[in-house]
């Protein structure tokens, strides 16, 4: 396996600074209310673990797994629910934590799936947003960074299963 250091797009420090602000905003918006945080696996695991440390509310953590990409950098156009949450969200405040909103299909599918379960309120936190690719109407309540149309990796995001462990967000250059 080759050792390749991807170019940094967003540094560890920038990510930490932004997450601090997002945590404060979420804490203020839900003021003493209980929250169910749904981490969208696998990509959001690192963002979610850092974000919940900055949320000062009584919360429960759930995991859901959806997949829209194969080993490819293009969306497959269909979303599969691979693993569901175990909590009942009826009448509860829900915060979905996602790594990136690209076409918006994954998050739209998740929002549709959850809305049938009658939560009290559903908010979305996404670390990244690529506005150029958006095809579905999605409101990101808590956004980390808006980025250009580049395939990014690191800080939870992968290319063919690799690079999730990088502490920063990098760009994968052609040929690597
Ligand atoms: P969407 O359904 O097109 O919005 O795609 C969202 C999902 O695609 C994300 O949750 C990621 O798993 C994956 N994805 C989209 N863009 C990138 C990228 O630049 N790097 C890594 N994964 C990506
Ligand atoms: Mg994802």
**pLDDT tens by residue, 43-80:** 999 999 999 999 999 999 999 999 875 555 565 678 88
State the residue range of the domain holding 145.
Answer: 12-150
Neighbour order of strands in the sheet with 121-129: 80-83, 59-67, 35-41, 93-101, 121-129, 142-146
Q: Is residue 162 part of a domain?
A: no
Question: What is the pTM for the complete model shown?
Answer: 0.93
Q: What is the overall mean pLDDT for the chain?
A: 92
Place of tokens 């808590």: 142
Q: Is residue 135 part of a domain?
A: yes
CATH number at residue 55: 3.40.50.2020
Question: Is 84 considered catalytic here?
Answer: no
Note the ligand closest to the C-alpha atom of 69: 1
The domain tally of the chain equals 1
Write the pLDDT tens digit of every residue in 84-132: 999 999 999 999 999 999 999 999 999 999 999 999 999 999 999 999 9
| Ligand 1 pocket, residue 39 CB under 6 Å | no
| Ligand 1 pocket, residue 151 CB under 6 Å | yes
Q: Is residue 168 part of a domain?
A: no
Mean pLDDT of all residues in 29-55: 97
Higher pLDDT, 75 or 171: 171
């Amino acid at each position: 396996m080759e050792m390749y250091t991807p170019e940094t797009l967003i540094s560890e420090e920038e990510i930490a600074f932004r997450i601090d602000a997002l945590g404060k905003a979420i804490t203020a918006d839900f003021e003493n209310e209980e929250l169910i945080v749904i981490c969208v696996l696998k990509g959001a695991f690192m963002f979610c673990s850092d974000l919940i440390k900055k949320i000062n509310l009584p919360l429960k953590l759930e995991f859901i797994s959806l997949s829209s990409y194969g080993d490819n950098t293009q969306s497959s156009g269909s979303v599969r629910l691979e693993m569901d949450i175990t909590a009942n969200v009826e009448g509860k405040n829900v915060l979905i934590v996602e790594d990136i909103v690209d076409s918006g299909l994954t998050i739209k599918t998740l929002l549709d799936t959850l809305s049938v379960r009658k939560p009290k309120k559903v908010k979305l936190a996404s670390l990244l947003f690529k506005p150029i690719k958006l095809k579905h109407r999605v409101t990101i309540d808590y956004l980390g960074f808006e980025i250009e149309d580049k395939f990014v990796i690191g800080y939870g995001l992968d290319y063919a299963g690799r690079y999730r462990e990088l502490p920063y967000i990098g760009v994968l250059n052609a040929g690597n």
